[in-house]
Amino acid sequence: MQKEMKSLNDNKTWELVELPKSKQVIACKSVEDPCVYLKRVSNEIFGLVILILYVDDMLIVAKEKSKVEKLKAQLSAECSMKDLGLAKSIRGMEIHRDVKDGRLWLTQGKYERKVLERFNMLDAKLVGTSLANQFKHQLLVEFCPLDATEKRLMSKVPYESAIGSLMYLMVCTRPNIAYALGKVSKYMANLGKVYWKAVKWILRYIKGTMGYGLLFDAHSHQARTLLGMWTQIMHRIWTQGDLPRVM
pLDDT value of position 211? 85
Contact 139, 163 (CB under 8 A): no
User: Is it the case that residue 189 has pLDDT exceeding 80?
Assistant: no
Cβ atoms of 50 and 238 within 8 Å: the answer is no
Assess whether pLDDT exceeds 60 at residue 229. no
Residue 246: pLDDT band by 50, 70, 90 thresholds? very low
CA–CA distance, 57 with 161 (Å, rounded to integer): 25
Sign of CA dihedral 234, 237, 238, 244: negative
Q: Which residue has the higher pLDDT, 153 or 110?
A: 110
What Cα–Cα distance (Å) separates residue 3 from each residue in 7, 8, 38?
6, 9, 21
CA 124 to chain centre: 27
28-29 and 213-217 as β-strands: parallel, antiparallel, unpaired?
unpaired
Instruction: For helices 193-208 and 109-118, give the axis angle rounded to 10 degrees.
Output: 140
pLDDT given at position 222: 62
pLDDT > 90: what percent of the chain? 20
**pLDDT surpassing 60 at residue 39:** yes
Burial class (CB within 10 angstroms; exposed 0-12, middle 13-18, buried 19+) of 25: exposed
Band of pLDDT at residue 14, cut at 50, 70 and 90? low
Q: Residue 170: which pLDDT band, with cuts at 50, 70 and 90? A: very high
Q: Please tell me the pTM assigned to this model.
A: 0.70
Kindly compute the dihedral angle of the four CA atoms of residues 181, 159, 191, 135, in this order, to the nearest 10 degrees: 40
Residue 202 near residue 184, CB atoms below 8 Å: yes
Gap between the Cα atoms of 44 and 46, Å rounded: 5
Percent of the chain at pLDDT above 70? 71
**pLDDT tens digits, 73-85:** 888 887 788 888 8
The tens digit of pLDDT for each residue in 50-105 reads: 888 887 788 888 888 889 898 888 888 877 888 888 888 888 889 898 888 888 88
Question: Maximum CA pair distance of the chain?
Answer: 68
CB count, 10 Å around CB of 40? 18
Q: What number is the average pLDDT over the span 174-187?
A: 87
Q: Which residues contact 8 (CB under 8 A, 6 or more apart)?
A: 14, 16
